Structure 1
Amino acid sequence: MTETRSIKLLIWCGPASIGLVLIGWMVCAGFLPPPTPTATGASLNAIWNDHPELKRLGMVLCIWGGCLYAPFTVAIAIMLRRGDPERLALPLAQAALGIFGTVFFTLNFLVLSSVAFRPEQAPEDLQAMHDLGFIMTFSPVAPFTLQYVLIALFIVSDESPNPSFPRWVGYANLWVAVLFVPACAIPFFKTGVMAWNGLLAFWIPVGVFVIWFVIMAIMMRKRLADEESAVRISTADSV
């Protein structure tokens, strides 16, 4: 397998990552919108006992999707350096943060899969595990926020003759990072826009997260396509 094909494979891990998570979370588990944080243990018991096998399948798909975030992060590091290979610190730092973020993007679903594994447990115990899983899913945005800030810093400061990404991609990453921040407040609120089912802590961060995957995957594929086109033209001219 050539290096270009290997990079394409890593890039495709991004759409596969968010796709598996959305299918597992929305279609299989049925957690869109999420259960309200004010739900009682008894009501949560009823939710988790409704097709628990589908919820288990959903969490398994989410775990696989979360794992694929790591190779996508590596692809970003590689593509950032295509325009300016001398700048190594920020691409590596964002990759480290992305790989660290993958831990939160998998362990949260593992916690929730344990809830689905034994949904008949006492309501108080189930509620505690449910709360842990949902807070772990939506609140630990710090590694992702820092990752996108570093991506933005690299792109907007790239003065190479042939930058890997247009400047607007950097600003898009910065906006995603800013819009993630309200989710940090999830442990403090059970109702309102800052709760884990609220506008600022759930709907906007989840929406921009999906958009981020689309932007980065498309722009990385475009960069590779441009490079391949340039190679073909150069080869044709030399013949």
Structure 2
Amino acid sequence: MTSPQSRTFTARLLLCTGPALIFALIVALIPLAHLIPPPAPTKSPEEIADFFASNTTGMRLGCVVMMVFFTFFATWSAVIIAMMRRMEGPVPVLTYAALACVGAGTVFFTIAPLTWAVAAFRPGDYAPETVRALNDWAWFSILFSWPPFAIFCTLIAVAVFTDRNGLLPRWVGYYNLWEAIFLVPFALIAFFKTGPFAWNGLFGFYLPTASFCVWMAVMSWALWPATKFRSPETFKERPLLSV
């Protein structure tokens, strides 16, 4: 049986992958891929093709970084799911639902850099319309895929509110409900190509994205004390994935 100290170390190590994801994402999107500010949806196919052709190496490197570190969303979320399992009773439906949402969200996360990497693979050989379509797909996969993340936040809130052990303070539940609401503007990118609700706009990109990054940082800070296991019997009565 592993010691409480080793469990604490492992949980906190995985918890640190969340802030690492945020930092790596900033590096990948800004100095490497030059995807922030995002290219406007109104740009012509030729402009988008030139955008990829002018920074092929940086785009490829940025996509590699994103592919690696986007998987950290799964490792970071594993700590939250483990805490949810401790909160639930003998039928951990919230835990299973959260696990499914994290899996779906991680897949959508990795689709975006995969698609951008394809667009940068042969920028001179693809038709400009194809490059623009790939770019559209990438932005939609990373932004329009907000429901699994919003539902994940809602499930966390329900787990916190129904937890009788007080593993996490109730403000964490309310904060997750608000975060679920803050992600909803991502849905509007399907309707606007210009203005604040487009994927390069204030409400279509910047505010929801910033709130998501802040959410990961706040949740990491809130979960840190809960990952200190004092007794080797912590999970004896409630294994992580058993009913």
Name the SS for the 2:195 alignment partner: coil
Q: 1: CA distance between counterparts of 2:96 and 2:104?
A: 12
Corresponding residue of 1:235: none
1:66-145 mapped onto 2 (5 Å cutoff)? 66-83=70-87, 86=90, 88-120=92-124, 121-145=126-150
**Offset of residue 22 of structure 1:** 2.1
Q: 2: CA distance between counterparts of 1:193 and 1:86?
A: 46
Question: Which stretch of structure 1 is more off in the superposition, 135-144 or 19-28?
Answer: 19-28
Corresponding residue of 1:176: 179
Scaled by the length of structure 2, the TM-score of the pair is 0.87
Scaled by the length of structure 1, the TM-score of the pair is 0.88
Q: 2: CA distance between counterparts of 1:103 and 1:81?
A: 23
The runs of 4+ residues in structure 1 deviating greater than 3 Å are: 81-87
Q: 2: CA distance between counterparts of 1:12 and 1:30?
A: 26
Q: 2: CA distance between counterparts of 1:192 and 1:158?
A: 42
Corresponding residue of 1:40: 44
Residue 197 in structure 1 maps to residue 204 in structure 2: no
AA partner of residue 189 (structure 1): F
Higher-RCO chain (CA-CA 8 Å, sequence separation at least 6) = 2
**Offset of residue 158 of structure 1:** 2.1
Change (3 A) 1:18 1:166: same
**Offset of residue 17 of structure 1:** 2.1
Q: 2: CA distance between counterparts of 1:132 and 1:171?
A: 33
> What is the total number of aligned residue pairs between the two structures?
227
1:146 aligned to 142, 147, 151, which one? 151
Q: 1: CA distance between counterparts of 2:82 and 2:175?
A: 19
**Offset of residue 63 of structure 1:** 1.0
**Gapped runs of 5+ residues in structure 1?**
232-239
Aligned residues: CA RMSD: 1.9
Give per-residue Cα distances to partners, 1:140-182, cap 9 Å, x unaligned. Answer: 111111111111111123232xx22111111111111101112
Give % identity. 33
**Offset of residue 86 of structure 1:** 4.6
Corresponding residue of 2:54: 50
